[in-house]
Each structure stands twice: as C-alpha cells, then as structure tokens.
Chain A
C-alpha cells in the first residue's frame, strides 16, 4: 500500500476516535454541570485544559460557560478538535484513501459527516444536546462496525487499528494528566462527595464508569481508578490495553512484510513497562511524572511509525 494511504487511514481513525472522545468529554462536563452547578465552571475549565484547548477557547470567549464551551467543542471550525472539525478531517482522510476502504466504510464515514453537518449547522441548545451526543455515538459505532465487518485483515486494517488505539490512549493519558491531582493521596478525602464527582468525571470522560462499577463493586478509590485506567487489560480504554493492541497490530505488519522496524522496539519497551508496573510503583514514581513520560514516549512512537512506513516524503 502507499505510504500516504497508511498515513491517511491512520489519521482517519484517529479523527473518528477523537470525535467520540470529544463527545464523551462534553458528556462528562454536562453531567457535572447538571448535578453540581457550583462546580460547573471549574469542571468545564478542566475539560478544556485536558483537551489542550483552554487558551484557544479564551481567545474567543471571556468567560467559561457551559453553553459556549459545548458549542466550542461541538461545532467551532476554528477549533481543530471540535466534533465537526474532527469528523470533517476524518472524512477528508477517508476521501484521500477511498481506494483502501470498502464502500460500506466510506459510506459510514460520509453519512456520519452529513448527519453531523446538518445537526450542527446552528448553535446547539441544551435540550437537544443529549440527542446530538447520541447521534455521534451511534454514527461512530456504525463506522467501527463497518470497518470490523467488511475490511480485509491486511496492513490497511492494521494501520486503522493503530490509529484508533493511538488516539484513544492519548486521550486517556491527557485526562489523567490534567486530573492526576485528584487521584493523589495528599488531597484525598475518602468518601467526600466532591471527590466522588471528580472521580466519576474521569471515568465518564474515558467511557469507563460502568466497567469500573462492575469490576470494583461500586467502591470508588482513587488508586483503584488510576490502576484501572492505566494498567487494567480488561478495559478497552486503558493505556495498557491500547498499547497491547498497537503492539499486536505493528507485529502483524512486521510479519506480513517480513521486516521489523525501529518502531517495534519502541512499542515493545512501552508495553514491557505496563507488564511490569504496579500501581504502587507508579505512585511512588509520581503519577504525574509517569503520565508525562508516557505522553512524550507515545509521541516519539508516532513519529517513528510515520518514518518507518513512509507516511510522508
């Protein structure tokens, strides 16, 4: 396959994943603002921070208000991470790599774009927000399903999977990076309502709330939450899970091409760390330091994949 196509497929899925992640962030923020209006402003601020968008937002708006933030995150075209920008970028990449996709996948992406373009044509009011978030969830599930159900399992599919998990891990790590302090023991107030809500936000923003409840019998514990999001291989959004998948898919390509590249060594190293790490060791090392280091290693891996598989000239 063309290097350009590998890059296009990788980015198409990254943007699809980003579309979902942004919707999930909005969902988490909405939840807080509905249940605890006093915390709403700081909650929206931390969501913008987690997405690296606070300064971009403040350039356009003087105050942090739910309605403005929601519209900024959903439909502002000057915001490259808004749902509309991300889905548009996903579709542009899909057009670019149209020949590598099945008709079903292309149409799922195109329909996602067409529906959201219509839904987000005008500013979104609070009462229609739940429906819109629902459509985003359904449309992206449709893309994922058609990819899963119709694509040949070859290098195209592998690059698509790598893009998905790369973006997902990146998103989870950013949430942890911004919220790490509420998981630290120093400011931990066991059982206090404030922390429960904060923890819940983290779990919601990573779509892990229900999974956590099921596996931990409803007990909120910051250390358990951190362990769950970083190390639990059962959770399809944990860092360990995503990196296992990235590693598997890079291995399929290596096997297919009969050639291992520098990126394989790098991903192995990251995976090995997750295998041998315990949550106690992470906290000993420093949760913040751990996440920061992970983000920079993951960026380096992304660049290496680009080079190894000739995404660009």
Chain B
C-alpha cells in the first residue's frame, strides 16, 4: 500500500493492515465501488459550489472563484492521540499569551537571557504601539491555529503557531457537514466527536474578553477586508454562524471614544471586534496611512480600553518563524513545564554557524522566509533542481537573516481517493484553539490539508493542496 516505507501512513502504518482507528472505515470502503465513490466526490464539489465556499484568485478574468479540492477519505485521530495533542496545544497557547504580555511589558524573558534582545526589538512584527497595553484578561491571541505534522506512530511536531489571524476553520465545519450529508452511515458506525459547536464557542470566548466599558451583553462583530478578499467566504460564514454583524472599515467610525458601526438606526458601539484584517491595515492613523480597510483611530480606542480586538495587534511576533525556534524555551519559561509538543529542529540563518550548515546541506533542507506564509518563497531542497538550489543559495547569502531552515520531515500520509482507488498523500493538521480568561478550548478535529500531487510535501491551497474531514474518535 504505502508507496515508500519511508513514510508513515496513518491508515496502514508501515504495513498492509488498517490501523485500529481506520479499521471500520477500511471495511466499509472495501464494500464500496470506486466509481460510485468518485461520483459522490463530484457531488461534494457541486455542494461546495452551491454553498459558495470558494476562494478568490486575483488577476484572472474568468473563473475568479475557485474551490479548494475536497477529498472524501477522512483523516482519523484516536482519543489517546488527541488527548496528547490537546494538552500540548493548550500549553503552547497559554505560553504564547504569557510571552506576548511579557514582551509588551517588562520583557522578563529577554532580561533572563533566554531570547536575544534584537529578536524582539528588531523584529518587524513587534509593534511598539502595543507596549504597555494590557488587553482584557491578558489575552492577546484569542484564536490560534497550530500547524502540526506527524512523522510516525507517536511523533508529532509543531510546524507553525498561527497566532495572528489563522484561517481555514470554515473548511473544518463545511467538510464535516458535507461528509454527514453524503455518508451518514459512517457516522453511525464510528463515534466521531462533534465540531459544529465552534461558532458558539467562538462567540462565547470572544464575549468573555469584552472590555470593562461593556456593561451588558457584548456586541461582537467580524471585520473583513471585503468581498474581494480570498477568505471572504469564511468571514461571512463565521459572522453568520455566530449571529453577529460582518463589518468593513467603511461601516465603522470612532464616536465618543468607542468604535461604532453604522446601522439603519444610527451608530452602535462594538465591544469585541474579531478582525480578519492584518495589523498593517487596521488603523490608517497609526499604521499604513493608505489603508482603506481599517478604522482611523481604532488603536487609540483600543489602548484606552474602549474595544477588544481579537487577535490583538502585534501578536504576529509570536508566530514569526525566527521566534518559532525559541518556542521550547518560551513554553518552559512561562509554564515551568517541558514543552509537550516538539518543535522541528530549526537553523536560524542569521547565525553564521547555522548559515554555514544550511549552505552545506541545502539539498536536504526546507528553507523558509522568516515572515513568509502560504508556501510562497520557500525551498524544498530534495525537490529542487540544481538551478533552483543555486538561485536560492544566492538569496540566502544576500540576506541570511531573512531565512530559517529545517530538515525535510517525512510527513505522514493519509490515502486520498484517486482514479484507481486509495493512494497515499502527505498531510498536515491545523486544530483550532480558543483562548479567553476562562481558559483554552480546543475543538476536537481541525483542518487536514493534503498535498494532492503524488510525492508533494506542500499542502497549501495556493500550491495545489486540498482538504479532508478530520475525525477525532471518542474513547
């Protein structure tokens, strides 16, 4: 089954028999006809089109709305595996919030010599405007999407902590809806934990972070850059499911020290703003003056305690790829415990010795831009041509501080439904965590991204990746 014993397959392990969590699914699958399942697969696509769960592609005249491909074979996680992941994510999210509070206040971690000062002071993601600001409950990152990869039966690594504005949760929810719609029988045979309460949990979690100025039921709103943004569907979906308004910058204005939205009855103050607009565009008075997506003066209101912004401005520093390499120290410093989830070993190219190692071993490594995302601007050594390696080498030498490098991980595979039946493809996992003063809640499941191209390790949707429904089984 597995195309190469080198990779751990989550359905078959390294052998031919389905692992326990997949045994029922494998039995069910063997009784189904591949042609029939492929028809179901196209039905799923039609459903997604109707729902409108599309993302926009810029710069194209026709077909500007694309679907992220959905694969109908679920990714299954056992209760025991999940319990470990849940504990690890919880620990990490708490540590990140403490870290953010610390670096915008006394910077104890720098004083203790655990992180070099320039990592903070010279980091573009560090916002001086946030110094001394304490958001309600000291929660900076309210919604976190931790990217995990698996390399073996008990080997999980954190690839990235998406602590600013993680996206993809709408796929987690819609994928499940689609599976329930198409294969109800699978859910009566397998005890799969629910994910559908996410919007309610999100609203509750955001409401728990309302600023002191809010005396009654908090007014929550979702801020979107607008209908042309690639994640607009998700913004609308979340606002709709939470039962709150979906606003754009032009609907908002600062009035009497509050951020208020223009309603048919006049301006109404907002208590908690779940923003899906980047820091840079949030406030033209305080950041990018050309931004038309934000609200002039919102940061001043925020600093004065008139509104909660989720996630807080300046959280990007916690998911910066250079800071990432310090996460084990960060977790230990703030929680007093060893990190439960492992980091991928990371070479910081800003350090001469590390740079030398990276240059010497480039064909075996994955090199990423420190501030990059979406799979752009990265080098996958083993998959790169000589020419690409040479070009990247030049980039590295010119601006080493801009890059980190990691070993090429043997990412686990989960089968997808290919033309001739099941075929293994590499996957990652992004569970979603909600942080409030009441604690951290992690939704059992998440977004499984899958590289649909045979052998590819890049799962990003912008690079031809798809998604799967993710099942966490009950005990």
Contacts and interface: CB of A to CB of B under 8 A. Distances in A.
Interface of A: 1-6, 92, 95-96, 98-99, 103, 106-107, 110-111, 114, 155, 253, 257, 259, 309-310, 313
B52 A4 contact: no
Nearest to B266: A310
Contacts of A2: 245, 247, 251, 261-264
Contacts of A95: 52, 227, 232, 236
Q: Chain A interface secondary structure, helix, strand, loop or mixed?
A: helix
8 contacts: A2-B263, A2-B264, A98-B236, A98-B246, A106-B52, A107-B52, A313-B250, A313-B262
A107 B240 CA distance: 14
B239 interface: yes
Contacts of B251: 2-4
Contacts of B469: none
Interface in B244-258: 244-248, 250-251
Contacts of A92: 227
A107 B51 contact: yes
A-B pairs with the 5 shortest C-beta distances?
A98-B236, A99-B240, A309-B264, A99-B239, A3-B262
Contacts of B51: 103, 107
Interface in B42-58: 49-52
Contacts of A4: 248, 250-251, 262
B265 interface: yes
Q: Which of A1, A3, A257 has the most CB of B within 10 A?
A: A3
A92 B227 CA distance: 8
A107 B236 contact: no
Given A3-B251, A3-B264, A110-B52, 11 more contacts: A1-B264, A2-B245, A4-B248, A4-B262, A95-B232, A107-B50, A110-B50, A259-B265, A310-B264, A313-B250, A313-B262
A313 B261 CA distance: 11
B235 to A, nearest CB: 9
B264 A155 contact: yes
B249 to A, nearest CB: 11
Q: Which of A96, A111, A155, A309 has the most CB of B within 10 A?
A: A96
Q: Which of A98, A99, A103, A111 has the most CB of B within 10 A?
A: A99
A99 B250 CA distance: 17
B245 A99 contact: yes
B50 A111 contact: yes
Q: Which of B232, B251, B263, B264 has the most CB of A within 10 A?
A: B264
A310 B240 contact: no
B50 A310 contact: no
A215 B248 CA distance: 50
A5 B262 CA distance: 10
A106 B51 CA distance: 8
B264 A6 contact: yes
A259 B52 CA distance: 37
A140 B232 CA distance: 25
A260 B236 CA distance: 31
A155 B245 CA distance: 14
A139 B179 CA distance: 27
Contacts of B52: 95, 98, 106-107, 110
A2 B235 CA distance: 16
Contacts of A106: 52
Nearest to A156: B264
Contacts of A110: 49-50, 52
Given A111-B50, A114-B49, A99 B236 contact: yes
